[in-house]
Amino acid sequence: MKKGKEKETRRLPNLSRREFMRNTAAVGALGAGIAATGLAPVRAAKASAIEKTVVPPGELDEYYGFWSGGPSGEVRILGIPSMRELMRIPVFNYDGASGYGLTNESKRVLGPDAPPNGDTHHVHMSYTDGTYDGRYLFVNDKANTRIARIRCDVMKTDKVIGIPNVQAIHGLRLQKVPRTGYVFCNGEFRIPHPNDGSILDEPEKYYTLYTAVDADTMEIKWQVIVDGNLDNTDTDYSGKYAAATCYNAEGAVDLAGMMAAERDWTVIFNIPRIEQAVREGKYITLGDSKVPVVDGRGRTPYTLYVPTPKSPHGVNTSPDGKYFIANGKLSPTCTVISIELVDKWFAGELKDPRDVVVAEPELGLGPLHTTFDGRGNAYTTLFIDSQVVKWNIADAIRAYKGEKVNYIRQKIDVHYQPGHLKASMAETKEADGKWLVSLCKFSKDRYLNVGVLKPENDQLIDISGERMELVHDGPTFPEPHDAIMVHRSKLKTVRKIWDRKDPYFAETVEMAKRDGVVLERDNKVIRDGNRVRVYMTSSAPRYGLNEIRVRRGDEVTITITNIDKIEDLTHGFTLCDHGIAIEIGPQQTSSVTFKAEKAGVYWYYCQWFCHALHLEMRGRLLVEP
């Protein structure tokens, strides 16, 4: 009895919670005693790991985390390892604090009649030579079939475009080498062409397309028609290939039909060949769109369909550039595709599309996404098992060849049901294997109960050592899908105040010029029929105009230039009872247009606490009847 107890105690520090529970159950009454003596070393080890996540007051995080916000339509910035939320970037959503979606500058970004919502899943940073270059972030809107670009120097959305001929942009990834020329976007749902009601319940006629967008101009360069649907996508480190998963090879429109086949596929796109086809005019166009569309269905020079079990979800490129790894979702496996062998396939040297597969490790239930530490290990989320599994790629390849080797390094419990996971710098050739975040879909009992809608649980795991250690729980508003962790050295060009020549408000500056107004100095009201253009400055704690007089029925444009130069001295302009609030950062010009429909006195005030006399920073809009 005593001997057994000692043995168990010694083994405990290396046991997972579930193994521990199993063990205590097995030894029955001994459980309590083991827990008391056994847990101490576990806690001690964790305390030292947890300490690494502490960023003391006044100190800065080492990594920027960029998180998608799901149906909130936004992108969030977190600090890693503290997991503090630092900022939110409105992208497809209306934002009441900054007036994004309301200011003329943001309306130019969003375009006319922009829907009020979005569903962001995949946020990725632009690359040069296979690593982050700090220029842009790109993100999808699954809900309204759009993509957006965010300028990293000011962390504001600067372009939003719709993607034609498809419905629901899901997977989004960027060309990594030589630089981000293309943004690749997956059209997820198969739809009829044309989608004008002439074809309805004939799913056999539906199809979807893969889209390449020019990252610099945000013009759509080409599209490829594919078999099946498109789920996630990733690109290689040569600039030659992109891969996308398909979970509905069946082309079904109901659940049972979508799960029927044992294998769906990973489709690999040969980018130079598609570009060549476009150059040679081997394309069609669809409907009103002028975008060249190449047909990549069936066996073509442009596409390779690799049979992949079963309804695969994520696809991830290893940072050494050697493999695409497709995550089996309904199969307990990941499928490892050798990019070198993909070269051979396209050179005509292989017979069977499955010949490019070099490993298919069995990992656990519900593999969704994989990330990397740059030391040859992969980390995969197991949605159904609520675990992250660490496995070795080289060993998985040896096992596939028939060698008896255990490629599983460790499984760690996460809480609960993880979707994406991401390690620091893992989507670059500089994957540094320090931190990993598991974006768990369910948080259940991990936080105080805040009502029926629960936060997500983003868990930080230390992967710097041999063993993964869970070190932090971070609640997030539902629901981030994906995230990236970027070393702060990649973002040295983030500005502290606006440049007066910034293109974000250049059109507003032009308007002022036409009115003969010097924005940084003048406080003027210009009447132009029943259009009134008001120009004023803001400088803590006052606006350039204490009162503005207009007539009922006027269309009023208020343009404010914040002439303060102090970092973080942001002012606002809120007009009472008009639904108007906008942000004016230091050295920024912001404008908003509205109709003065109600006669009377309406106070406007600054909504950022900018000065001891912030409450006094206000004025009156006098609307004559």
Tell me the binding residues for Ca(2+): 247, 250, 258, 264, 311, 441, 456
Q: What is the DSSP letter of 375?
A: S
Among 336, 610, 621, 623, the residue binding ligand CUA under the rule CB under 6 A is 610
Least distance between ligand CUA and beta carbon 611 (Å) = 6
Contact predicate 137/123, CB 8 Å: yes
DSSP three-state, residue 213: strand
Does 5 bind ligand CUA (CB under 6 A)? Our answer is no
Q: Which of 606, 619, 621, 623 is the binder for ligand CUA (CB under 6 A)? A: 606
Task: State which of residues 108, 398, 467, 614 lies at the interface with ligand CUA (CB under 6 A).
Answer: 614
Cis? peptide before 455, omega within 30° of 0: no
Q: How far is the CB of 121 from ligand CUK (least distance, A)?
A: 4
Range 75-104, binding ligand CUA (CB under 6 A): none
Q: Which does 356 bind (CB under 5 to 8 A by kind): ligand CUA, ligand CUK, none?
A: none
Within positions 474 to 493, which residues make up the interface with ligand CUK, using CB under 6 A?
Answer: 481-482
Residue number of the CB closest to ligand CUK reads: 419
DSSP notation for 355-421: GGEEE--B--S-EEEEEE-SSSEEEEEETTTTEEEEEEHHHHHHHHTT-----EEEEEE-SS-EEEE
Q: Which does 313 bind (CB under 5 to 8 A by kind): ligand CUA, ligand CUK, none?
A: ligand CUK
Q: Is the peptide bond before 416 cis (omega within 30 degrees of 0)?
A: yes
Per-position b or e across 453-471, b if 16+ CB within 10 A of its CB: ebbbbbbbbbbeeeebbbb
| The residue count for the chain | 625
Q: Is 540 in the site for ligand CUA (CB under 6 A)?
A: yes
x/- mask, ligand CUK, residues 381-420, rule CB under 6 A, reads --------------------------------------xx
Secondary structure (DSSP) of 120-146: B--EEEEEETTEEEEEEEEEEETTTTE
Find the binding residues for ligand CUK in span 166-195 (CB under 6 A).
170
- Choosing among ligand CUA, ligand CUK, none, which partner's interface includes residue 584 (Cβ < 5 to 8 Å by kind)? none
| Contact partner at residue 571 from ligand CUA, ligand CUK, none, CB < 5 to 8 Å by partner kind | ligand CUA
Residue number, 171 or 585, with CB nearest to ligand CUK: 171
Q: Is 578 in the site for ligand CUA (CB under 6 A)?
A: no
Give the sheet arrangement for strand 408-413, strand by strand.
367-372, 377-382, 387-392, 408-413
Contact residues for 513 (Cβ-Cβ < 8 A; gap 6+): none
- Cβ atoms of 173 and 512 within 8 Å: the answer is no
How many Å apart are CA 139 and CA 89, to the nearest integer?
A: 11
> Which residues in the 547-576 window bind ligand CUA by CB under 6 A?
571
Least distance from ligand CUA to the Cβ atom of residue 266, Å: 54
608 binds ligand CUA (CB under 6 A): yes
Alpha helices in 347-488 (DSSP H): 393-400
Q: Which does 419 bind (CB under 5 to 8 A by kind): ligand CUA, ligand CUK, none?
A: ligand CUK
Torsion of CA 366, 363, 354, 207, to 10 degrees: 10
- The neighbouring-strand residues paired with 600 are 623
Binding mask 481-520 for ligand CUA (x = CB under 6 A): ----------------------------------------
The token duo for 31 is: 């459980």
Nearest residue to 224 (alpha-carbon basis) of 297, 315, 313, 167: 297
Q: Which residues of this chain interact with ligand CUK, rule CB under 6 A?
A: 121-122, 170, 232, 313-314, 368-369, 419-420, 481-482
Q: Which residues of this chain interact with ligand CUA, rule CB under 6 A?
A: 540-541, 571, 606, 608-610, 614, 617
